[in-house]
Each structure stands twice: as C-alpha cells, then as structure tokens.
Amino acid sequence: MSAQKKLGRFISEYAVVIIFTVITVACIKPSGLSLTYIIQEIITRLGRNSFLVLSLLLPIFAGMGLNFGMTLGAMAGQIGLIFAVDWGIAGWQGLVFAVLVGLPVSLLLGWVCGAVMNKAKGREMVTGYILAFFINGIYQFVVLYMMGSVIPLRSAAITLSRGYGVRNTLNLESVRQSLDTLLMLKIGPFMVPGAAFIVIALLCVFIVWFKKTKLGQDMRAVGQDMAVADAAGIPVERTRIVAILISTVLACIGQIIFLQNMGNLATYNAHDQTGFFAVAAILVGGASVTKANIPNVFVGVILLHAMFIVSPLAGQRLFGSAMIGEYFRQFIGYGVIALSLVLYAWRSRKAIDNARAGLRQGAAGSSGASGAVDANNKGAAK
C-alpha cells in the first residue's frame, strides 16, 4: 500500500479525533486558561463521565451499535438518588443505597430495551433513541404524579408544594462528591478523585475479563454475524438482551457517579443528554458503530471535555460572547455524531464496493484460467 493511501486511510479512520484535537488545541490559547486548570478540569471530568461512556462498550461488542437506550439506566439511577435523598441517607452510603434501589429498576428497563431491540434488529440505535423518549414519558409520570401520592415521600423539601411529585431540582448536598472525596489524592498541583478512578479501573478490568468469558465471546460472535452465531448454537437474542442489561445497569451506576459529582439533580431532564454526550465522547475517541475499545473511551472523554472547557471562553474572547462557545459545544456534540455516522456509512459502502470488485476480479480471473485449461485440453486432444 502506498504512503498516500496509508495516510488517506489513517485520516478517514481517525477524522473525528484529528478534527477534535486540532479544534481543541487551537482554542486553548484564545481561551486564556492555564494548562494546569485545563488538566485539573479534565481529571475531574474523567472521574465524572468515564463510567457512563464505558457502559456503551458491551452493546458495541454485541453488534448493537451505540446504545442510546442507556438513558433508561440513567433514569433508574436518578430514581435511586431521589429515594436516597428522600430517606436522608448521606455520604457514600447514600450512593450505595441509590445503586441498590436503582439496580432492579435498571434491570427491568434493560430487559424491556433488549427485548424491543431484538424486534428491531439492524435498527437498534434509532430504536434505543425513541425508546428513551417513550420511557421518559413513564418516568415523568411516575416522578411527577405517583411519587408523593402512590409512592410515599417523606421529605417535604423534595416534594412539590401541591403535596405530590418531586421538585424540578434536587439538592444532592447530602451525597455531593462523596465518592470523589472518599480518597482525594494530591498529585503535584492536581487533585485526583482516587475512589472514582478505582471504580472506573475496576469496571475496565471487568470489561477486559468479560470479553474473555464464554458470554463475552458469544457477544463478539453475535456482533460479527448473527446468523453464523445462531448456527453455532449461541442464543443470539438472549446474548443481545444480556449486553443491553449490563449496559443499562452500568449506565445507572454511571449516572449516580455523574450526579454525585455535580451536586444537584435536574429531576426531569438530567438524563436527556446523558446518552447523547456519552455517544459523542466515545465517537470522538475514535470508536465507530461497530468497533470500540477502552482507550477510545478515555481519549474521547479527554478530547470532548477539553473542548467543552476551552470553547466557551475562546468564544467569548474571539467573538465577544460566551454563548458562541455554548452553541459551539452543542453544534460539535451533534456534529461529531453525524460525522461519525456518515463516515461509518461511507466506509461500509466502500468496503462492500471493494468486496464486489474483488469478487468480479476473482470471477474474471478464474473464467480466464478455465478458458486456458479448456484450450490446453483441446490442444492435448489434438
């Protein structure tokens, strides 16, 4: 392969990463932020977001694309946190309690999501996206009407003044940064939330281990070809449901980690953008709809959030308005998803075309060879 072709292939494969790196590096200077500040912010955001983004990996292994249905897990996590706050459970104990409450809910929602996706094979991403809207309606109904009326709430501080329903914004002061501060390490000028990183590292170890298990291998087989996996005796639908179940449960825990770092919960829309930003992060990290790994997650979170940190200030300095940076953030988030999907479609089509061309050449070559054999045979007969 020529050097030019190699370069072209590299650029097409890592287009999103390259674009992001260039934009982010270009924005650092105009933003006026010190490198120490940017790195500290990235460390904080790595601890906050990595778990959520890691939850996307297993469905990609199982060939189900980017799991926009992870929003369902995020909702389950929020329900857990609502109960932890309502029952006045503070600190890391509150987080564990929220996970324990959210877990059954996320399992149920994950099963529903997996079952629906099995009915929409090949259209999992858009199905997950729309399913999240549907479940969001049920979530709103439960939190706005059933909590405080059918489901008892103890705390008047989180109940709407009408007597039922949860307030629009919950103060998570009781559990705020309780995981981050559990083991805060000072490395040079940086504060590193050690406990959060330990939890993330454990998840990475789990993912590496899981890929080597029978179920993990089945998942990869299903991801490569469902028909072949089915012929090999792998329960395809069950394996796909398990992938979504694990992803939803991880998203539940990830949302709890995310919100404990933020310190407040926008009850009715905190989960809206969860899937969107997680997907954007993993795509920015160089993953695609069919291929992703752990480094993609960390590269993506670092790049996406580095841009989120510098772009508002760069926008303010360059154009006189911080809103430009905010628009830019939204534009880039959606843009990167669109670009990745377009590149994926383009690459898939190109691969199909190349395969067809290869087949045609092979057929032409083999027909030419058979002609020569026939001529030789005829010659020999003479």
Residues forming contacts to another protein in the complex (CB under 8 A) are 87-94, 96-97, 100-101, 174
Tell which residue, 7, 1, 3, 18, has the closest CA to residue 336. 18
Around Cβ 225, how many Cβ atoms within 10 Å? 13
Cβ proximity to another protein, 51 vs 97, nearer residue: 97
Around Cβ 236, how many Cβ atoms within 10 Å? 22
In the complex, the smallest distance separating the C-beta of residue 84 from another protein, rounded to whole angstroms, is 8
In the complex, the smallest distance separating the C-beta of residue 179 from another protein, rounded to whole angstroms, is 13
Cβ proximity to another protein, 83 vs 277, nearer residue: 83
Structure tokens at 178: 């309780």
In the complex, the smallest distance separating the C-beta of residue 176 from another protein, rounded to whole angstroms, is 12
In the complex, the smallest distance separating the C-beta of residue 267 from another protein, rounded to whole angstroms, is 20
In the complex, the smallest distance separating the C-beta of residue 308 from another protein, rounded to whole angstroms, is 33
Cβ proximity to another protein, 20 vs 97, nearer residue: 97
Cβ proximity to another protein, 91 vs 335, nearer residue: 91
Cβ proximity to another protein, 125 vs 179, nearer residue: 179
Tell which residue, 157, 179, 177, has the closest CA to residue 166. 157
Q: What is the 3-state secondary structure (H, E, C) of 255-314?
A: HHHHHHHHCEEECCCCCCCHHHHHHHHHHHCCCCCCCCCHHHHHHHHHHHHHHHHHHHHH
In the complex, the smallest distance separating the C-beta of residue 96 from another protein, rounded to whole angstroms, is 5
Nearest-10 Cα torsion for 221, 225, 227, 232: -30
Cβ proximity to another protein, 33 vs 96, nearer residue: 96
Tell which residue, 116, 48, 102, 114, has the closest CA to residue 73. 102
Around Cβ 79, how many Cβ atoms within 10 Å? 22
Cβ proximity to another protein, 43 vs 84, nearer residue: 84
DSSP state of 186: E
Please work out, in degrees rounded to the nearest 5, the angle formed at the alpha carbon of residue 87 by the alpha carbons of 84 and 91: 50
Contact 158, 144 (CB under 8 A): no
Helix (H, G, I), strand (E, B) or coil at 158: coil
Cβ proximity to another protein, 257 vs 309, nearer residue: 257
Cβ proximity to another protein, 21 vs 174, nearer residue: 174
In the complex, the smallest distance separating the C-beta of residue 100 from another protein, rounded to whole angstroms, is 4
In the complex, the smallest distance separating the C-beta of residue 255 from another protein, rounded to whole angstroms, is 18
In the complex, the smallest distance separating the C-beta of residue 94 from another protein, rounded to whole angstroms, is 5
CA distance 138 to 121: 24
Tell which residue, 298, 292, 294, has the closest CA to residue 340. 292
